[in-house]
Amino acid sequence: MKQYILSLNCGSSSLKFNLFERLEHNFLSSHLSGIVEEVGNKEKSLLKYDVEGSKQKKNIPVGSHHEALLLLFRELERNNISMNSICGVGHRVVHGGEKYTNSVLIDDRVIQTIHDLIPLAPLHNAPNLTGVEEAIKLLPGIPHVAVFDTAFHGTIPEYAYRYAIPGCWYRDYGVRRYGFHGTSHLYVAKRAAKLLGIPYHQFNGVTVHLGNGCSITKIREGKSVDTSMGFTPLEGLVMGTRSGDIDPALISHVADRLVEDKGLSMAEAYQSVMQALNKESGLKALTGVSMMQDIRRKAMDGDAEADMALAIFTYRAAKYIGEYWAGLQEVHAIVFTAGIGENEGHVRARILSHLENLSFKIKEENWMRKQEMEVAVTSRPGEKPVSVLVIPTDEEIVIAYDTLFIGHLKQGLPDVYPFEISSSPGV
């Protein structure tokens, strides 16, 4: 009988899934993937999935994540996939705090810890935990594994993760840099090392995850040693709807003005400011839209507002890349990934143009989309060229392999992931 690993990502109103078939030598291949959207909104809930190239789309009332999972399992059965053939379920969990710096087999203690960490990530850990608990109810006899977004950044040294704040805030409230998108940064860093023929434990680079959420990570000898997102995903780069780095004093300034001008209570004003910084800022605040492809088209057509938004976005990214580059003795690659990083050659080129001292030579491949490729190299005389790569991210394959090895095979994390092995000799 065929064996499958199921990867789940349970959001506040969605359920993303990817079912991987286990092949020879423990290779995994995606068999069926999709999403249940608008969970809890029965009038708009929608199931979309792709199975072996065939796309399916169904409007089905889904009132809860329990119902979403039942719907998924019915569709699997409809596609001749028995529940008995699923040998492990991997769950994306955003926050593992200082407790979890690797993926772990889920038990009652792990569930309690994820619950205890909800105050650090209330918008993410709570729905993630719902997905875990509901999936365990429906598939109780198989291993479930938690894969944490923060885990890869567990190697960041204290001097890089501590804020210069009262010590009790750190000790009692856990206020420190955690970083996010760790599974994505891990995947593309390992792929980059393989493509360049460098043992991963020797790889130094800067990984640049640019999507609706954006983060950049500094990697030394295969380990994350700094990252742009901080205590929450709000810190760092300009993003789709998030402000990124700001002077924290502006929060009280704007809240005071809202109290004075709008008659809000201080609590209402504070909530309004935080909502705006997370949901109404970033590219959306600068242009009215958060989709980079729309902003890029407008900028190329001469729209000054869109062009300025691009300048702000790309300059902030270049600042972090330059900072991290300067702190590494040797850099093997800059790696772009995620929706913008994989698809927007114009944005990549503008980011690199801000790094004048590195003298990047842009290649024709830069204007291609969503494939592993080298898009630029440094061209400083007398120095070894450094690659700029595009590597499409695959967080779900990391979740699936961690689940296979930790949960089903009970071997612990793999020393070398199968996706680090390339059939081609390199870039």
Q: What is the pLDDT of residues 267-287, one digit of tens each?
A: 999 999 999 999 999 999 999
Q: Which of 382, 291, 404 shows the shortest CA–CA distance to 4?
A: 404
DSSP-derived 3-state class of residue 124? coil
pLDDT band, residue 419 (cuts 50/70/90)? confident
Residue 411 has pLDDT above 70, yes or no: yes
State pLDDT tens for residues 193-246: 999 999 999 999 999 999 999 999 999 999 999 999 999 999 999 999 999 999
Which strands form 333-337's sheet, in the order they lie side by side? 223-227, 214-220, 205-210, 333-337, 387-390, 373-378, 360-362
Question: What does the pLDDT average to over 151-164?
Answer: 97
State pLDDT tens for residues 19-60: 999 999 999 999 999 999 998 888 888 999 998 878 888 888
Chain-centre distance for alpha carbon 412: 23
Q: Which CATH number describes the domain made up of 198-244+281-390?
A: 3.30.420.40
**Burial bucket for residue 52 (CB in 10 Å: 0-12, 13-18, 19+):** exposed
* pLDDT at res. 56: 85
* pLDDT at res. 427: 47
Which of these is catalytic: 50, 149, 172, 256? 149
Distance, CA of 77 to CA of 200 (rounded, Å): 40
Which of 144-148, 329-333, 382-386 bottoms out in mean pLDDT, i.e. has the lowest? Answer: 382-386
pLDDT band, residue 421 (cuts 50/70/90)? low
* pLDDT at res. 381: 80
To the query of whether residue 303 is one of the catalytic residues in this protein, the response is: no
Q: Which of 211, 222, 101 shows the shortest CA–CA distance to 153?
A: 101
Distance, CA of 322 to CA of 328 (rounded, Å): 10
Q: Which of 396, 372, 376 shows the shortest CA–CA distance to 386?
A: 376
Residue 116 bridge partners (DSSP) = none
125 CB-side CA count, 13 A: 20
Residue 425 has pLDDT above 50, yes or no: no
First-residue to last-residue Cα distance in the chain: 37
Strands 333-337 and 205-210: parallel
Q: Which of 88, 131, 183 shows the shortest CA–CA distance to 419?
A: 183
pLDDT band, residue 188 (cuts 50/70/90)? very high
To the nearest 10 degrees (0 to 180), the angle between helices 125-138 and 108-116 is 160
Distance, CA of 185 to CA of 180 (rounded, Å): 9
Q: Which amino acid is at 330?
A: E
Statement: the pTM of the whole predicted model exceeds 0.85: yes
CB 125 within 8 A of CB 117: yes
Torsion angles phi and psi, residue 244, rounded to 5: 75, -155
Distance, CA of 39 to CA of 43 (rounded, Å): 10
* pLDDT at res. 382: 75
Distance, CA of 413 to CA of 100 (rounded, Å): 14
CB 300 within 8 A of CB 310: no
* pLDDT at res. 426: 44
State pLDDT tens for residues 283-297: 999 999 999 999 999
Domain with CATH 3.30.420.40 in the chain: 4-148+398-420, 198-244+281-390
CATH fold of 4-148+398-420 reads Nucleotidyltransferase; domain 5 (3.30.420)
